Amino acid sequence: MSVDLVEVVRSGVRECVHRGSLVVLDAEQRPLVALGEVHTPIFPRSANKPWQAVAAMRIGFAPESAEEVALSTASHSGESDHLDVVRGILTRHGLDESALRCPPALPADELSRAELIAAGELPQPLYMECSGKHAAMLAACAVNGWPLGDYLDSAHPMQLAVADVFAALTGDADGEFAIDGCGLPIIPLSLSQLANSYRVLASAPADTPESAVVSSVREFPRLMSGTGTDDLALMTTVPGLFCKSGADGVHAGVFDDGTSFAFKIDDGHERARLPLVAAVAHRVLGESSEDLAALASRPVLGGGARVGTVRAIPGIL
């Protein structure tokens, strides 16, 4: 069963509780923390983007910069530099935005979205947060001469390559494909497998796609996420952390010492992310900076003033 992980306290009274499951593994894959259903398959959602990027790079996508690698793993906010990198990947491979098969959207970044609406722009696939990984997959297809129109299909060579990488990272090739929000296939796996896959990525030898993904995201966390995002706040605050959020309450990551984690919030609420990852970081690092402590206790407001906190349940870690 899932357990209480995060609580919302208002004026001294517990107002809400977010339940879920959490696993923390040491560098040898031994469990340090196992709360809830850590062996039950879940959909990793966008937390699977690092190995989708690895697959694209293994079979032909050759990024020209660390920025392109970071964008290929991104749930980006649609800011102008995000879009420029995606366009650059497409253009270099003789493609344009019409090749993208992710759903049309407006940027997640509030200012970027407001500017486009004011300019009379309509939702476009380019602005969708997953357009970076779609561009990387299209680049790999173009290099191999594969069909472009059906690269989302689970039987397409591109998606079969993703499944192969998944099997190598998790040690398990089983699981029925589902369809993610961007239209691409997604394979279920347990939180223990998800956490371990991040450990495997971070421990890969230099000059491998895995190593390039981890180092590029660590160098350019805003390109992998966006201004004001949870992942940017966490990777800016915790040196050496490589992490990725996924929709509906999924988060996974690995610290510089090889300790990895993954969790799923049952109700999918985004506000549980920052305090829970910050609490895990405090457990792993053994200390807490002022900035990390601020992430671990998010404010609850009343009349514009702080009247409470969103925090990991005291004592669970």
Per DSSP, the residues of 124-171 read: BGGGSTTHHHHHHHHHHHHHHT--STTTTSTTSHHHHHHHHHHHHHHS
**CATH 3.40.710 holds for 3-312:** yes
pLDDT 10s digits, 64-97:
999 999 999 999 999 999 999 999 999 999 999 9
The predicted structure's pLDDT at residue 232: 98
The predicted structure's pLDDT at residue 172: 62
First to last CA, the chain: 17
Phi, then psi, of 172 in degrees rounded to 5:
-145, 115
Reported pTM: 0.95
The predicted structure's pLDDT at residue 182: 97
Residue of higher predicted confidence among 170 and 187: 187
pLDDT 10s digits, 276-303:
999 999 999 998 899 999 999 999 999 9
Q: Is the pLDDT of residue 24 over 70?
A: yes
Q: Which residues pair with 246 in a beta bridge?
A: 250
Question: 174 falls in which pLDDT band (50, 70, 90)?
Answer: low
Q: Is the pLDDT of residue 173 over 60?
A: no
The answer to whether the CB of 201 falls within 8 A of the CB of 210 is yes
pLDDT 10s digits, 208-252:
999 999 999 999 999 999 999 999 999 999 999 999 999 999 999
Hey, where are the domains in the chain? 3-312
pLDDT 10s digits, 130-145:
999 999 999 999 999 9
C-alpha dihedral sign at 159, 165, 166, 168: positive
The predicted structure's pLDDT at residue 136: 98
Question: 169 falls in which pLDDT band (50, 70, 90)?
Answer: confident
Q: What is the mean pLDDT of residues 41-57?
A: 96
The answer to whether the CB of 316 falls within 8 A of the CB of 35 is yes
